[in-house]
A and B are shown apart, each in its own frame.
Chain A
Amino acid sequence: MTNVIEVSGLTKRYRDVLAVDDVSFDIQKDTIYGLLGRNGAGKTTVMSILTAQNFATTGDVRVFGQNPYENASVLARMCFVRESQKYPDDALPAHAFKTARLFFPNWDQQLAEQLIDDFQLPLKRRIKKLSRGQLSAVGVIIGLASRAEITFFDEPYLGLDAVARQIFYDRLLEDYTKHPRTVILSSHLIDEVANLIERVLVIDRGRILLDEDTDSMRDRAVNVVGDETAVDAFVAGREVIHREKLGRVASVTVLGALGDDDRERLAQAGLDVAPVSLQQLIVRITQHAGSAEPSLNDEGALR
């Protein structure tokens, strides 16, 4: 598998805040990634450094094997749809699309027009006057119609209603199928994108917590529910990432897929097993990492 992005030892420090802490990862060609993590985890910082809109403090970033800074041949092949994209005061959506058309060599005007229609975007209203959802639609249209070899979507769904989000997911999948390319999608709506993303990158407090194949995460953890003593006996020796209790009933999330003997043991003990969605799993893993490690301020002690 070819890598289109290679990051090693990337660190970004803003005065006394360590936003990105010595991360290394690769992004494979023609793959849809989910870049997931809490607010302030460092997602936007990483994406802006990869697209040369911000500087790394230390570390090495290679895009298509080259340094992206002031490198027009690399930048024209990437599109970054920012959540807080700013446009000139008197700009209309039509102006934004015209500019994008000039900038992106693979721009597909027909796709752009179809998307404008899908999202019912008013072309002659000033961008400043658009609703939050319509503003997001402008970004989504540019991100899809640019057909850049690498496209970053940073929380592209803000203000979009459920119907518009479904349009975005469907069009993304449809166009990706016809024109495979690399997409990095940052989202908090994990369950909505779980089936679209082939790999997940979870970033937490400036570090990569997970870098995995999404499908292999689906049976990574289970919830075991039932009488506390029986639950405790079953989970002994397993990695517990979450625990809840109501009276004598305990609900415990454990890592590790269950084998047939495990299921038989659970049934014998009268315990229930419930699946854990990708969203729940990531929430639990992030919380678990947060409680197991000292905070960022103690970073020195971690190494």
Chain B
Amino acid sequence: MIEEGRALFLQIAESVEDSIIDGSLAEEAQAPSTNELAAFFRINPATAAKGVNMLVDKGVLYKRRGIGMFVAPGAGDLVLAERRTAFADRFVEPLLIEAKKLGLGPDDLSRLILDRANAARGAANEPTEGVAR
């Protein structure tokens, strides 16, 4: 669950953001507390607090005095926009580099992506065939 080599507070913040993106943590819902996060991930509470504070600074969470942390309105769009920007760096860039090694140009790549996407859609449309085997 926790990876080596990356700051823990970033990983804690990302796990909360993941819950917001997949909808399990709705806007205006109460977010897990620092202590709950520390206990769940078995990490130092100060580190968990650093992750939560980062989300507050970014406007993803906000504090209701005496009650706890809540998901800010618009947090979903905010996180999604940020992840989409990072998507090109994290996934497309390495894809291009590996493709170049194999002699595949950008046009070949886009054709491959479309073929795969179509195949996946086709398989989804004929579910009975998959079940029969």
Residue of B nearest to A275 (CB): B5
Residue of A nearest to B89 (CB): A260
Total B residues in contact with A, Cβ cutoff 8 Å: 24
- A218 with B45: in contact, given A173-B39, A177-B38 (CB under 8 Å)? no
A264 and B93 within 8 A (CB): yes
Residues of B with C-beta under 8 A to A210? none
Cβ of B74 within 8 Å of any chain A Cβ, yes or no, is no
Cβ of B101 within 8 Å of any chain A Cβ, yes or no, is yes
A251 CB to nearest chain B CB (Å): 15
A195 and B44 within 8 A (CB): yes
A198 and B89 within 8 A (CB): no
Residue of A nearest to B3 (CB): A275
Cβ of A174 within 8 Å of any chain B Cβ, yes or no, is yes
Residues 85-129 of chain B, each 1 if its beta carbon lies under 8 Å from chain A, else 0? 000010001100100010000000000000000000000000000
Residues of B with C-beta under 8 A to A176? 45
Residue of A nearest to B46 (CB): A198
Cβ of B81 within 8 Å of any chain A Cβ, yes or no, is no
CA distance A169 to B43 in the complex (A): 10
B39 and A218 within 8 A (CB): no
- A31 with B5: in contact, given A173-B39, A174-B39, A260-B89 (CB under 8 Å)? no
Residues of B with C-beta under 8 A to A215? 7-9, 47, 50
Cβ of B6 within 8 Å of any chain A Cβ, yes or no, is yes
A169 and B7 within 8 A (CB): no
CA distance A32 to B3 in the complex (A): 21
B43 and A195 within 8 A (CB): yes
Cβ of B132 within 8 Å of any chain A Cβ, yes or no, is no
A195 and B50 within 8 A (CB): no
Cβ of B42 within 8 Å of any chain A Cβ, yes or no, is yes
- A276 with B43: in contact, given A260-B89, A267-B97, A270-B101 (CB under 8 Å)? no
- A219 with B46: in contact, given A177-B39, A260-B89, A268-B97 (CB under 8 Å)? no
CA distance A176 to B47 in the complex (A): 13
A277 and B4 within 8 A (CB): yes
Residues of A with C-beta under 8 A to B6? 218-219, 275
Residues 165-181 of chain A, each 1 if its beta carbon lies under 8 Å from chain B, else 0? 00001100110110000
CA distance A205 to B36 in the complex (A): 39
CA distance A72 to B31 in the complex (A): 45
A198 and B39 within 8 A (CB): no
Residue of B nearest to A217 (CB): B7
B9 and A267 within 8 A (CB): no
CA distance A169 to B35 in the complex (A): 15
Partner of A218, one of B8, B50, B101: B8
Cβ of A216 within 8 Å of any chain B Cβ, yes or no, is yes
B46 and A195 within 8 A (CB): no
CA distance A219 to B11 in the complex (A): 12
CA distance A277 to B93 in the complex (A): 26
- A195 with B42: in contact, given A260-B89, A270-B101, A276-B4 (CB under 8 Å)? yes
Cβ of B2 within 8 Å of any chain A Cβ, yes or no, is yes
CA distance A260 to B35 in the complex (A): 33
B44 and A32 within 8 A (CB): yes
B7 and A173 within 8 A (CB): no
Please indicate which of the listed interface residues A196, A215, A219 has the most CB atoms of chain B within 10 Å of its own CB. Answer: A215
123-152 of chain A: CB within 8 A of chain B: none
6 pairs, CB–CB < 8 Å, chain A vs chain B: A169-B42, A198-B47, A215-B8, A216-B7, A267-B93, A276-B5
Per CB-CB distance, the 9 closest pairs between chain A and chain B, nearest first, are A275-B5, A275-B4, A195-B43, A267-B97, A198-B44, A198-B46, A277-B4, A215-B7, A215-B8
